[in-house]
Amino acid sequence: MSSHSLFEIFVSLHIMGGSVGLLTFWIPVLGRKGTRTHVQFGKVFGYTMLITGFAAVATSFTTLYDPVGTHPDVLKWGDLRFADPAMVSGVFGWMMLCLAVLTVNLAWHGLLCIKNRKNHLANRAWHNLFLQTALLATSVVCIWRSVQLDYLMMTSVGILGIVTVITNLWFLYKPNLRREDRLKEHVKSLVGAGISVYTAFLAFGALRILPKAALSLQLWAFPLIFGIIAIIYFQSVISKRFAKASVSTRTDQSISTKYESESPVG
């Protein structure tokens, strides 16, 4: 089997998984939180992202192995920079690999936040820590290759990966973790996975529709801006909910204490 045939198989798997993820992403995001529908479709989205991400990892490795053979029609997209195999391996190899690992990292981390809600130390399992190491390594390589190729978009993806690792490790090793921290991390991770899959769709998927615009930084900015706004919004909702619950609890305790102090003894 040729490298191109193998590449096409992984791409097909990636597209099938990504299509499900693109649709199911909106159900838990827009629906009422904590309901059965939210939980079920959230799991579908999370596990679909794992499949999509691992398929993208496979396409990245086949590209790195044979950049020209896996992308024989690359010049039809109208960007002469891709006449250089190093550019093909850089963008469709290393940058795709960084995005793929980012997607897997965020999806798995977000699912673990809920699965291990009663045992936070379980979030530090070897597989989750390995994903942090893998994302850090691919992000650094992505930035390094971007400098060599003078391609700013790769730098942006690498920086996003490093920021993700930092925030993930902050959550994993934060002392005195609160319940709202877990929920905020869950939101950050799975919305972040959604940003990743929509970014990949607009970039690599749009190559067949709008080849000249597909790899522009402006096009990539749309899902990132939306995702950041969504994360900030939902995290603020969580903060307000817990702040309100805390005030209510203190009020109840104050009333209870006052009642007990005023009650006759004996």
Q: Angle 96-115/126-149 helices, nearest 10 degrees?
A: 160
Q: Which pLDDT belongs to residue 142?
A: 96
Q: Specify whether the CB–CB gap between 166 and 73 falls below 8 A.
A: no
Please state the domain count of the chain.
Answer: 1
Q: Specify whether the CB–CB gap between 43 and 49 falls below 8 A.
A: no
Give residue 209's domain range. Answer: 3-262
Alpha carbon distance 7, 200 (integer Å): 16
Q: Is the model's pLDDT at 263 over the cut of 70?
A: no
The one-letter amino acid code at 130 reads F
How do residues 236-248 score in pLDDT, each as one tens digit?
Answer: 988 888 887 766 6
Question: What is 159-172 written as a DSSP string?
Answer: HHHHHHHHHHHHHH
Lowest mean pLDDT among 105-109, 176-180, 188-192, 261-265: 261-265
Q: Which residue has the higher pLDDT, 142 or 202?
A: 142
- In the numeric block, which tokens belong to residue 188? 């950050």
For residue 198, what are the contacts with CB-CB under 8 A and spacing of at least 6? 22, 25, 223, 227
Q: Specify whether the CB–CB gap between 59 and 28 falls below 8 A.
A: no
pTM exceeds 0.95 for this model: no
Which range has the top average pLDDT, 2-16, 132-146, 164-178, 227-241? 132-146
Q: Which residue has the higher pLDDT, 262 or 226?
A: 226
Label residue 176 left, alpha or beta by phi (over 0 means left) and psi (-120 to 50 means alpha): left
CA distances from 230 to 29, 34, 72, 234 (A): 9, 17, 39, 6
Q: Specify whether the CB–CB gap between 168 and 105 falls below 8 A.
A: yes
Q: Is the model's pLDDT at 98 over the cut of 70?
A: yes
Question: What is 93-113 written as a DSSP string?
Answer: IIIHHHHHHHHHHHHHHHHHH
- HSE (CB half, 13 Å, CA atoms) of 222? 13
In 3D space, the residue among 195, 202, 103, 97 whose CA is nearest the CA of residue 142 turns out to be 97
